[in-house]
Structure 1
């Protein structure tokens, strides 16, 4: 009877997950990855392609939310069995402890029904740890094949998968150097990963440039670091957290007997250290610590002096919090997710059958899913690049009629959009794109004593010196931006100075900026404003360096 109770509890948990996946509206990122699944490839601007492939498979079942999340809910089941197999409970009490850990941990439940790269990263992390444990024990001769597949799956899921492999293998470096099967494992994983490597080469390693350079901050945000630190210490395992972190400082617990225990210790702690360092240049996100949370649960379960009564009480407290959170997500009056669906439908009703263009990829993705319409993103100044930029260009809309939906480009027609804010609808007829202007900024020096900035730039735009008058050119500005959120501080019209020089290669521009504005400016780039549409960037973005003399 007790055995059936255990199975029944898991089935109820699985059923709850399916209901949540069916009736909870999409997160905006889920809609974005759904759009990826309509453009299958071996890579995308933000992440590797695994999540797009998974969503595409689920779409064969249905095109509703549950179809998008279908594979995620299936992986939820596999996650439990892998978690169970890694921990290998022997007694009834141990089996209930495994179920309690799994059911009462926030990230295991969250990524058990939503579809993001972290969802597949979670599955392949557990699969990898399952095979790694066998590989390090050297009990099965063909384990390296499963380990190779799991490593490739990690790398295809999210680039954080490299950290999972690095941190777990680091304590066994000398042991692995003498293992022929280890070299064979890495070679097979490399072969499986070749399609994505070719994609990276073909696209100039754009995901790495985005994550390692374009997301860099101009200053350290200590509130974001505190958020990561507090989240990593307490939010990953909720009520278990004080109990968990106490075990990390116990000499008896740190000196584990098996190689796999050492891997789990490294994976439990190193992601926190790594991302705290990275947060000095990037704004951190709590889900980055997902790979560490998985290891922490395994570490917690293996703690020898665990107080079972306290353990189940903490698990029950966690479970209550998660049940309340799930109810809130399902409530139309309390969950913000319903706004994602309703706003997209309201905009769809307002624009009728027109071709629709948005300025944010999140808005375009939600509209595409819920209105079941094709759309595109016209990326304005403060919005980052996305995969939409790879699929279509502005020139593709030459001669077409469309409506531009924007929170900021005001017009006479509007509709209540996301977060109950007015979204303005601008009708564009027989659109004529501008020439393909492009500039490269090489240096920018600030002379604060004279309130000037001297900028070196080169031009690759023949239209600049083929125009008869600089006023025939579209509006071209030097855009000075600052913090927070890269807000525009100052605009300088540079059409005349560019046209007069007829530059083909290089030019120096001297700009006078008021001292109060110059002090707020952190970076500069060239912006172009087409007729009837907002400004967008046509150059790289560089920092403004202060004169040292």
Structure 2
């Protein structure tokens, strides 16, 4: 049965789609989009930071269009699709009288607007959350086998979009615990797990590196009320702009009339409370709470249909929001109109400037999973991010990018170089330096595995397994080992070089695809008074020490 949407709805929806396609085509990529474009060069069931949906979207768009539009095309479709799903989820027959109010409401939401053309994991998360809620609404009315399977596929799509999707599924389930004894609900769960199995397998094959990073490895600064909790409260305002007082007023006034409304309320309050509690431990990024825009759009629009004063003020303030957003969107393309430097400005020209020196030689960016893919996107040349102890692991740590620069003449680009053949100032004000390396060689995939459970400074001897995953033996003379000490927030503090010992006499190299056993002692750091964690790290050929072990706690 075809969708019966009002003509005005279709006109406005079509206008937004055209606007977003235009914006997508003429706005330079932001860094995260370039990074996800790097994902899409090699489709997989998972990636270091996120599941695979964002890469699939870019891959599909790339078959249809080149450049920025190819990266963002599917996002533009998902955006208008989200608007349609939200509209269908609202039952009030009065809604056809207030089509403009609906579009002002959803289009005035700042991040919901931005994700109309940017390609980020939150874009499919928003779309599949809206689809999940719509199908769930029909499922609780009349559960069937077909709806159960479809619901399961959507839950899997949610999880392939972003790990935060688990909150969406959990809080909806929490709103209706009777689903635990519903056979169709179990069919949906089993379907979701079957569809998500390839990602589970990918995680297992990669030693659950994504989960470990997000839960245990990510550095975190000490608690700061202004940056963390107050920052979270500011984010609550930022996602709605000027309409925020009436958005939250409508939310507070909304009542649980049925299971669907109850699910919307549980999802909204659940996510907000979860991240409010999280704000006492870490900084909550604005996009982490963006998913509440979906249930709140349904709740608030339903509320304004029945309350003329709220409807009037939301419409007026929403129009002002939209005017500001459209002005800023023009500034994304035409830099002089934007009030501050933004990452869509100047990247293409900067990368071309670097290419003018590098020529066809690969470019190795030190500690920048942001610059490396941006360079590859805008120049078509080979690039790589060499990550060291001052940075973090990312997709370049686990994919095959390193192979493309091995034993090549490369232009090495970094903020921190003693040898400076070239200087590359960025529009942001940062200054990068560069020099050529005639025969580049790195071994960032060497892994140091420590199985002991308790560690103290200058304690007994410990054993470390050094695994060489490379196809060639690695001479030990090319390697230096050290202990990297970290503070209680898992931030790097100090390096202490160490000598690894082995029972094998005259050991000259690490054997290919083999593990070598060494012993070591934890030498006391010189500057750091009381380190809380450490890593065993390796420097090859004089490069800065890498990220070669997990973060290990000190007693």
TM-score tier, shorter chain, comes to: 0.7 to 0.9
The answer on whether the counterparts of 2:446 and 2:548 sit within 8 Å (CA) in structure 1 is yes
Cα deviation digits, residues 259-280 of structure 1 (max 9, x gap)? 0000000111111211233344
TM-score by length of 2: 0.86
In the aligned structure 2, how far is the partner of 1:233 from the partner of 1:61?
A: 37
From the superposition, tell whether residues 155 and 484 of structure 1 become closer, same or farther in structure 2 (CA, over 3 Å): closer
In the aligned structure 1, how far is the partner of 2:34 from the partner of 2:265?
A: 36
Q: Does 1:422 align with 2:425?
A: no
1:436 Cα deviation from its structure 2 partner: 7.9
1:310 Cα deviation from its structure 2 partner: 1.8
From the superposition, tell whether residues 29 and 457 of structure 1 become closer, same or farther in structure 2 (CA, over 3 Å): farther
Q: Report the equivalent of 2:290.
A: 290
Q: Report the equivalent of 1:124.
A: 128
SS of equivalent to 2:390? coil
Q: Report the equivalent of 1:358.
A: 365
Q: Report the equivalent of 1:467.
A: none
TM-score by length of 1: 0.87
Q: Does 1:342 align with 2:349?
A: yes
Q: Which moved more, 1:137-146 or 1:236-245?
A: 137-146
1:235 Cα deviation from its structure 2 partner: 1.6
From the superposition, tell whether residues 398 and 507 of structure 1 become closer, same or farther in structure 2 (CA, over 3 Å): same
Q: Report the equivalent of 2:539.
A: 529
Cα deviation digits, residues 330-365 of structure 1 (max 9, x gap)? 222335212332222211122111122122111111
1:499 Cα deviation from its structure 2 partner: 7.4
The aligned runs of 1:87-486 (5 Å cut-off) are 87-91=90-94, 92-138=96-142, 142-174=146-178, 176-215=179-218, 217=220, 219-250=222-253, 253-254=254-255, 256-303=256-303, 304-305=306-307, 307=309, 308-333=311-336, 334=338, 335-336=341-342, 337-359=344-366, 360-392=368-400, 397-418=405-426, 419-433=428-442, 438-440=447-449, 442=452, 454=459, 457-461=462-466, 472=477, 474-482=479-487, 486=491
Give the RMSD, CA atoms, in angstroms.
3.1
The answer on whether the counterparts of 2:220 and 2:489 sit within 8 Å (CA) in structure 1 is no
In the aligned structure 1, how far is the partner of 2:187 from the partner of 2:135?
A: 15
Aligned partner of 2:38 among 30, 35, 40 = 35
In the aligned structure 2, how far is the partner of 1:435 from the partner of 1:59?
A: 30
1:438 Cα deviation from its structure 2 partner: 4.5
Q: Report the equivalent of 1:509.
A: 521
Aligned residues: 525
1:51 Cα deviation from its structure 2 partner: 0.9
Q: Report the equivalent of 2:513.
A: none
SS of equivalent to 2:523? strand
1:164 Cα deviation from its structure 2 partner: 0.7
Q: Which moved more, 1:73-82 or 1:385-394?
A: 385-394
SS of equivalent to 1:460? strand
1:376 Cα deviation from its structure 2 partner: 1.8
The answer on whether the counterparts of 1:128 and 1:151 sit within 8 Å (CA) in structure 2 is yes
The answer on whether the counterparts of 2:128 and 2:158 sit within 8 Å (CA) in structure 1 is yes
In the aligned structure 1, how far is the partner of 2:9 from the partner of 2:449?
A: 63
From the superposition, tell whether residues 235 and 397 of structure 1 become closer, same or farther in structure 2 (CA, over 3 Å): closer
From the superposition, tell whether residues 243 and 540 of structure 1 become closer, same or farther in structure 2 (CA, over 3 Å): same
From the superposition, tell whether residues 357 and 312 of structure 1 become closer, same or farther in structure 2 (CA, over 3 Å): same
In the aligned structure 2, how far is the partner of 1:184 from the partner of 1:213?
A: 33
1:395 Cα deviation from its structure 2 partner: 6.8
1:29 Cα deviation from its structure 2 partner: 0.6
Cα deviation digits, residues 363-384 of structure 1 (max 9, x gap)? 1110110111222221111221
In the aligned structure 2, how far is the partner of 1:478 from the partner of 1:407?
A: 24
From the superposition, tell whether residues 130 and 284 of structure 1 become closer, same or farther in structure 2 (CA, over 3 Å): same
Q: Report the equivalent of 1:494.
A: 498
Q: Which moved more, 1:88-97 or 1:285-294?
A: 88-97
Query: Unpaired segments of 5 or more residues in structure 2?
Result: 1-5, 469-474, 508-515
1:444 Cα deviation from its structure 2 partner: 7.6
In the aligned structure 2, how far is the partner of 1:148 from the partner of 1:440?
A: 38
SS of equivalent to 2:521? strand
From the superposition, tell whether residues 325 and 395 of structure 1 become closer, same or farther in structure 2 (CA, over 3 Å): closer
SS of equivalent to 1:528? strand
In the aligned structure 2, how far is the partner of 1:48 from the partner of 1:364?
A: 21
The answer on whether the counterparts of 1:89 and 1:95 sit within 8 Å (CA) in structure 2 is no
Query: Unpaired segments of 5 or more residues in structure 1?
Result: 447-451, 464-469
Cα deviation digits, residues 149-188 of structure 1 (max 9, x gap)? 22121011111112111111212112x1342221222222
In the aligned structure 2, how far is the partner of 1:434 from the partner of 1:199?
A: 23
From the superposition, tell whether residues 500 and 406 of structure 1 become closer, same or farther in structure 2 (CA, over 3 Å): farther
From the superposition, tell whether residues 461 and 134 of structure 1 become closer, same or farther in structure 2 (CA, over 3 Å): closer
